[in-house]
Amino acid sequence: AQSVTQLGSHVSVSEGALVLLRCNYSSSVPPYLFWYVQYPNQGLQLLLKYTSAATLVKGINGFEAEFKKSETSFHLTKPSAHMSDAAEYFCAVSEGNAGNMLTFGGGTRLMVKP
Amino acid sequence: DTAVSQTPKYLVTQMGNDKSIKCEQNLGHDTMYWYKQDSKKFLKIMFSYNNKELIINETVPNRFSPKSPDKAHLNLHINSLELGDSAVYFCASSPTGANVLTFGAGSRLTVL
């Protein structure tokens, strides 16, 4: 069975600082991995997706994530936080290509201080 | 044009009532979904549906039922509402066989 753990339900950084949001997964097969972002009162938007083509995946808004099989991790980073990055971030895993196989983590709220 | 739209955005109702949330997508996707997000932001799939197959998460009470008049719409009906049904419900869609979902903005249901 697949699962996702996001370490830290809340992360606070200063504007301009590095953003690091942690995600560890469990999967019995090579997984698909995703990061979604949810801005206040909005639905989830796809940030990036890992599909085994490259271990470093670049997404929108300057975010990227690195797949590390040995650590079963898919952490999300951004070199310099912007106020507009404040949102809820969800890591998700899927063992197949069907949308109903997605399992989401519990989310991490990113707060950006001026 | 909004890709996945849900109505109503907010819904407040009494225990025991029956209510519906509507969802429409204009992306031409064949598969639609309903997710429940609880107060701790945990997202759980309730249903996935395309024009051939309904897959129900076995933990979802049978008071919840999806109804699809056509492939662009997937409405959620809830009977005999309970306090624990209070949550944000998200509709989503994807092409068949794809695992990248497009989400609606959510419908916040409050049961009093």
- Which spans in A1-114 are helix H? none
Chain A interface includes B52 (CB < 8 A):
no
Q: Does residue B8 have a cis peptide bond before it, meaning omega lies within 30 degrees of 0?
A: yes
Whether residue B31 lies within 8 A of chain A, CB to CB, comes out as yes
In this prediction, residue A28 has a pLDDT band, given cuts at 50, 70 and 90, of confident
Which chain B residues are within 8 Å of A32, Cβ to Cβ? Answer: 99
Amino acid at B4: V
Task: Select from B48, B50, B46 the least CA-distant residue to B63.
Answer: B46
Q: How far is B45 from chain A (nearest CA, A)?
A: 7
Region for residue B38 given its phi and psi (left: phi exceeds 0; alpha: psi -120 to 50; beta: otherwise): beta
Q: Which two tokens stand for residue A57?
A: 């995946």
Q: How many residues does chain A have?
A: 114
Residue B30 has pLDDT above 80, yes or no: yes
Tokens coding A34? 């995703």
Q: How confident is the model at residue B1 (pLDDT cuts 50, 70, 90)?
A: low
Q: Are A106 and B40 in contact (CB under 8 A)?
A: yes
- Under the banding of pLDDT at 50, 70 and 90, the label for residue B71 is confident
Sign of the Cα torsion B2, B5, B8, B10 reads negative
pLDDT, tens digit, 9 for 90 and up, residues A73-98: 999 999 999 999 999 999 999 887 76
The yes-or-no verdict on residue A99 having pLDDT over 70 is no
Higher pLDDT, B57 or B86: B86
Q: Which residues of A touch B43 (CB under 8 A)?
A: 44, 90, 104, 107
Contact state of A99 with B90 under an 8 Å Cβ cutoff:
no
Q: Give the residue from chain B lying closest to A51, CA to CA.
A: B99
| Binding-site residues on chain A for chain B (CB distance < 8 A) | 32, 34, 36, 41-46, 49, 88, 90, 94, 96-102, 104, 106-107, 109
